[in-house]
Amino acid sequence: MPIHVRTLASMLVILGMAAAAGAQGRDILPPVPTPTDIAPGSITCDECPYPAPSKYLDISVYGQDVRISYMDIAPTGTANGHVVMLMHGNNFGGFYFGDIIDGLTDAGFRVVVPDQIGYGKSSKPIAPYNFNTQARNTQLVLEHEGIDKVMAVGHSMGGMLATRFTTQYPDSVERLVIYNPIGLSDNRFNRPMTPVDQIYERTLRTDYQSTRRSLSRYVGHDPSAWNDKFELYTRIRSSWTLSSDYPRLAMVQSIISQMLY
């Protein structure tokens, strides 16, 4: 299906997810005033612009009752009998896959998009996070929906998870696609692990400007690629920092950073 692969790749490029090497540590975008109209946002992404309704599955994670959210979108074109599962990156839940979902469903695919635990509309428990558990949670969604095989597509951190999912549940994967993945090399030997408490204190200081600088790395290759979608995602992430629940999300994000490490 080369046409569909090109379509998928072009949509992801439009999202600006090809971060340029060396973009960290320098200002990429011209400065702008901090918006004054950003309201506190729910850490369970109640205000996020999801392209389809979400379903919820109650599961248990480390003895805690939680729920994992996911979209399950039927094909709009002639059904081809295949299911694509999209695995999101670390900065967002599944809501940023809208254009890709449209392209895939138009081509006849059923598309399933989980929000991993700790992300999007899913629960945010204070618990150990690792890719084995996230893969198991994802498999529970497929079992609940009666889906035997998927084409697993992972972007950025989702590429790490999609790879782990494939090795953990090989019978569930028809094809594996990883796009702009992280985790291709092991840097632990020359980069000590930062303690969670230090990461947490730093994360608590996140605001609109630091969020904008962080997301601007995605357009380091071409600052003119910054567009209204990037600005929307910046406002969404900034709105979480204004929530009274943000300390919980900040701790979850800090623990997750060690999963990535």
pLDDT attached to residue 252: 98
Number of domains the chain is built from? 1
pLDDT attached to residue 187: 86
pLDDT attached to residue 26: 67
Q: 165: domain range?
A: 2-19+33-184
60: in domain: yes
253: in domain: no
Element (H, E) at 113: strand 110-115
Euclidean distance between CA atoms 26 and 23, whole angstroms? 6
**Residues contacting residue 71 through CB under 8 Å, at least 6 positions apart:** 50, 51, 52, 53, 54, 55, 94, 101, 111, 112, 113
192: in domain: no
205: in domain: no
Helix axes 208-216, 228-241, angle to 10 degrees: 140
193: in domain: no
Residue with tokens 């299906």: 1
Q: Which residue numbers in the chain have pLDDT < 70?
A: 1-26
194: in domain: no
Euclidean distance between CA atoms 209 and 242, whole angstroms? 13
DSSP 8-state assignment for residue 83: E
197: in domain: no
CATH number of the domain residue 57 falls in: 3.40.50.1820
203: in domain: no
